[in-house]
């Protein structure tokens, strides 16, 4: 079945450091890929998405590129802030699919 694997946390960084969270997936066909973020005490929020190979999703300084050859969708941000402390989830949905398949989440803690 479909699956998403992301690096385990917690990831602890200093403010203004570079962040990368690895995400790889297993799925047949051409899924759409997503990053969701969950801030403390809040629900899941869509951060960015990519719907086909080589697409780059971006939002709030975060970027991720859909790499079909490596089945990856790594999340990056060049300079993190304390407010970026959250749990980040990589997810996929099959074309015209009905359900998101999530990775296990990566907790990020940014220290001032």
Partner 1 sequence: DTGVSQDPRHKITKRGQNVTFRCDPISEHNRLYWYRQTLGQGPEFLTYFQNEAQLEKSRLLSDRFSAERPKGSFSTLEIQRTEQGDSAMYLCASSPSFRDGSYEQYFGPGTRLTVT
Please give the size of the binding site for partner 1, defined by CB under 8 A.
25
Binding mask 7-26 for partner 1 (x = CB under 8 A): --------------------
User: Burial letters for 4-34: b for 16+ Cβ neighbours within 10 Å, e otherwise?
Assistant: bebbeeebebeeeeebebebbbebeeebbbb
13 or 103: CB nearest partner 1:
103
Which DSSP symbol is given to 76?
E
53 touching partner 1, by CB under 8 A: no
Residue with tokens 């998101």: 100
112 touching partner 1, by CB under 8 A: no
Q: Which residue stretch of 11-19, 20-28, 48-56, 58-66 sits at the interface with partner 1 (rule: CB under 8 A)?
A: 48-56
Question: Does residue 87 contact residue 37 with C-beta atoms inside 8 Å?
Answer: yes
51 touching partner 1, by CB under 8 A: yes
For residue 61, give every residue at least 6 positions away whose Cβ sits within 8 Å of its Cβ, in sequence order, or none.
Answer: 77, 78, 79
Which residues would be at the binding site for partner 1 (CB under 8 A)?
Answer: 4, 32, 36, 42-46, 49, 51-52, 89, 91, 93, 95-105
């Amino acid at each position: 079945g479909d699956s998403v694997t992301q690096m385990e946390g917690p990831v602890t960084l200093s403010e203004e450091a570079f962040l990368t969270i690895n995400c790889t997936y297993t799925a047949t066909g051409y899924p759409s890929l997503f990053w969701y973020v969950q801030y403390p005490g809040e629900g899941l929020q869509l951060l960015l998405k990519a719907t086909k190979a080589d697409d780059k999703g971006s939002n709030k300084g975060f970027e991720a590129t859909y790499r079909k050859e490596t089945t990856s969708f790594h999340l990056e941000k060049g300079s993190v802030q304390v407010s970026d402390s959250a749990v980040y989830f990589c997810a996929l949905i099959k074309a015209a699919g009905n359900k998101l398949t999530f990775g296990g989440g990566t907790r990020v803690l940014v220290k001032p």
